[in-house]
Structure 1
Amino acid sequence: MRVSIVIRAFNEEEHFEKLLLGLKAQRKAPDEIILVDSGSTDSTVEIGRRYGCRVVPIDKHQFTFGRALNLGCAAATGDICVFVSAHVYPLYDDWLETLVAPFEDDRVALTYGRQRGGDVNKFSEHQIFARWFPPHSVFPQKNYFCNNANAAIRKATWEDHPYDEALTGLEDLAWAKSVQAKGYLLAYTAEAEIVHLHDETWDQVQNRYRREAIAMRAIDEHAKFSRLDFGWLLAQHVLSDGMHALKQGVLRREWGSICKFRYNQLLGTWRGFNGPSDVSAELRARFYYPTRPHHHHGHAAVERRPIDYDRLLDENEPSADAQAEPRDGDGDGAAPSLRIVRGDR
């Protein structure tokens, strides 16, 4: 199977290189990396070209999440399109091969992997990641939950079912719901783990959840979120997060962040929802209900190595001479320099 990496980006220079180094470190190297850039004004495109990315531009005024994915998939030459956010990075060198392994079953249309937060993420978002992405894999998955920050789809399926370009978010769930209804299978692959970095303002948190709630209304015509839901879930979330923080000995430090995050999350959700009925209980639980502790489920031992990003960043620091040398071409049509012999979101 040929594998194409598709990355959507806008001004992602802060974390983008770390992702590209993580791809370079994979045992199974991607066959190509496509950067769908919506008008970055920082060094995002330059970094991408330096690592062999093929750049596909999209006018930021025409941008939607679905349209960017459709452009990336249309440009891809692989059998599998792997989607990663530009502000994530894989934890292990077997991430890519683990993520795409379920496609050995011809019935599988989509796989997605586990996510966790980094040092910059808010405390409550760590609880959300723990809720949404448990430590054990699920196949086949019964509901249509997934997340395109760390996911892969079969291109042949996409050709028959392109992404909805009108949605304000959650285009991944809409696509998964559609193909699942056609009889395809979804796989959650917990061992394909990435770190997903969010360092958002409170307004950004609120807007993200408002956007996703608007999209959920379009995906599920029965969706609703009332003032009662807002108040009840705010109390539940704050209490649950507070208990987690107390157990970790960080309650005093994190209390303000917990209250602000959950307030803005749920206010954004309330502002975005406007439906006559409810979403499915299982999806509603994954989106809005507090984290419950998970028990570890062991799996067969696999030799895997954590990626040493400090070493990779030091080794890839360009010298002054290297920065001054002209490059042949702009990198848009070149084979990706990420391919390595050994065995690399």
Structure 2
Amino acid sequence: MLASIVIRTLNEARHLDDLLVMIARQKTDFDVETVLIDSGSTDGTVEIAKKRGARVTYIDKAEFSFGRSLNRGCEFSDGDMLVLISGHCVPADENWLQNLCQPLIDGKASYSYGRQIGDDNSNYSERRIFAKYYPTDSQIPQKEFFCNNANSAILRSVWQEYPFDEELTGLEDMELSKRIWLKGHKIAYVAEAPVFHHHEESWAQVRRRFEREAMALRDIMPEVHVTPVDVMRWVVSSTWKDWRAASRHGIKSTSKWEMLRYRWNQYLGSYKGNHDHRRMSQELKQYYFYPEVTEKADKDEWLKPLYRTSPHEGQQSES
């Protein structure tokens, strides 16, 4: 069996080499290939990928959408399993790939996704978002259709029958997971397949990311609606909870002001992308937007001070 690791990139040189080194260190009982789908990098991303032995294909910026890019990358690959990972994610250990693919191999799921964590270079508010959506306990299979392509795997046969939507502005993973879930396929969450997910974004980029995802969510779940009152309530509540958790864990890497700005841009973007749509049920609104993190998640060891070491540190650079 062959697993194709498909990496979607645009100027990902900062973390790509660490990602490729960790891919090379994975311990699996199946074969692995790595392919890159690049949309116009100018920072040496493609050169890094080729140096590490990845096959590279391209998509023009004018054609780009998240779903179309992944479909092109999957078409270019040869694997029976398609492993999707962002160019700014780095596996946390050498068992990531085997663990992520195991539910597919065992026939327990058609689509799986792994844990995402941040380190002290991440905004602490985002680390708490990761703790909410990517808990310490696996669900194989899970009861819902949530999935995230920053760290996921899907059977090629399933993707061929149900390719990613190429028109959505984001959340192509959630749309596909809902589509196949309604057809009886299983989705698995694998906590034992963690990656460090690095976002180095301006506040405008944070806001646009959440706006783009909220626009896509309107099409996937048209009952979702966010009001100005929701925005203010969630900003205040989530920021206060961030401050309290940061104090409890001794976090110094993100200031209170930075946490407030993150939450403001998160919910402002969500409102802008969503505000003109119909009302949603209160239950769904709470699930997808309310900033509550479970008591167990708030005690997560990964929310304490943490720095991801490069696989290059402490040893000679690998060729």
Tell which structure's C-alpha radius of gyration is larger.
Answer: 1
State how far apart, in whole Å, the 2-side matches of 1:208 and 1:187 are: 25
- Cα deviation for residue 91 of structure 1 reads 1.1
5+ residue gaps, structure 1, are: 297-305, 319-345
State how far apart, in whole Å, the 1-side matches of 2:159 and 2:281 are: 25
Tell me what 1:196 maps to.
Answer: 197
Tell me what 2:79 maps to.
Answer: 78
Is contact 2:80–2:156 with CA below 8 Å preserved after alignment?
A: yes
Q: Structure 2 length normalisation: TM-score? A: 0.91
Is contact 1:131–1:286 with CA below 8 Å preserved after alignment?
A: no
Tell me what 2:218 maps to.
Answer: 217
- Cα deviation for residue 253 of structure 1 reads 5.8
Q: Deviations over 1:255-293 (max 9, x none)?
A: 101110000000000000032122683685254422222
State how far apart, in whole Å, the 2-side matches of 1:134 and 1:283 are: 20
Task: Describe the SS at the equivalent of 1:205.
Answer: helix
| 1:212 counterpart letter in structure 2 | E
Q: How does 1:222-301 map to 2 (within 5 A)?
A: 222-250=223-251, 254-273=255-274, 274-278=276-280, 281=283, 284-294=286-296
Tell me what 1:34 maps to.
Answer: 35
Q: How does 1:1-345 map to 2 (within 5 A)?
A: 1-28=1-28, 30-106=31-107, 108-250=109-251, 254-273=255-274, 274-278=276-280, 281=283, 284-294=286-296, 309-311=311-313, 314-316=316-318
State how far apart, in whole Å, the 1-side matches of 2:176 and 2:314 are: 36
| 1:164 counterpart letter in structure 2 | D
- Cα deviation for residue 310 of structure 1 reads 3.0
Is contact 1:91–1:193 with CA below 8 Å preserved after alignment?
A: yes
Is contact 1:35–1:48 with CA below 8 Å preserved after alignment?
A: yes
Tell me what 1:332 maps to.
Answer: none
State how far apart, in whole Å, the 2-side matches of 1:50 and 1:117 are: 27
Q: Which has the higher contact order (CA 8 A, sep 6+)?
A: 1
State how far apart, in whole Å, the 1-side matches of 2:280 and 2:114 are: 27
Say what the alpha-carbon RMSD is for the aligned residues: 2.2
Task: Describe the SS at the equivalent of 1:235.
Answer: helix
Tell me what 1:336 maps to.
Answer: none
State how far apart, in whole Å, the 2-side matches of 1:105 and 1:276 are: 41
State how far apart, in whole Å, the 2-side matches of 1:226 and 1:239 are: 20
Q: Structure 1 length normalisation: TM-score? A: 0.84
Task: Describe the SS at the equivalent of 2:8.
Answer: strand
Is contact 2:207–2:265 with CA below 8 Å preserved after alignment?
A: yes
State how far apart, in whole Å, the 2-side matches of 1:283 and 1:140 are: 24
Is contact 1:132–1:286 with CA below 8 Å preserved after alignment?
A: no
Is contact 2:108–2:141 with CA below 8 Å preserved after alignment?
A: no
State how far apart, in whole Å, the 2-side matches of 1:238 and 1:162 are: 38
State how far apart, in whole Å, the 2-side matches of 1:19 and 1:282 are: 35
Judged with a 3 Å threshold, the aligned counterparts in structure 2 of structure 1 residues 307 and 152 are, in CA distance, closer, same or farther, namely farther
Judged with a 3 Å threshold, the aligned counterparts in structure 2 of structure 1 residues 269 and 295 are, in CA distance, closer, same or farther, namely closer
- Cα deviation for residue 295 of structure 1 reads 6.7
- Cα deviation for residue 315 of structure 1 reads 2.7
> How many percent identity over aligned positions?
38
State how far apart, in whole Å, the 2-side matches of 1:252 and 1:27 are: 33
Judged with a 3 Å threshold, the aligned counterparts in structure 2 of structure 1 residues 308 and 60 are, in CA distance, closer, same or farther, namely closer
Count of residue correspondences: 309
Q: Deviations over 1:54-100 (max 9, x none)?
A: 11100011100000110011112111000000011111111101100
| 1:55 counterpart letter in structure 2 | V
Task: Describe the SS at the equivalent of 1:131.
Answer: helix
State how far apart, in whole Å, the 2-side matches of 1:253 and 1:24 are: 32
| 1:63 counterpart letter in structure 2 | F
Tell me what 1:331 maps to.
Answer: none
Task: Describe the SS at the equivalent of 1:172.
Answer: helix
Is contact 1:170–1:216 with CA below 8 Å preserved after alignment?
A: yes
- Cα deviation for residue 130 of structure 1 reads 0.6
State how far apart, in whole Å, the 2-side matches of 1:280 and 1:100 are: 35
Is contact 2:6–2:85 with CA below 8 Å preserved after alignment?
A: yes
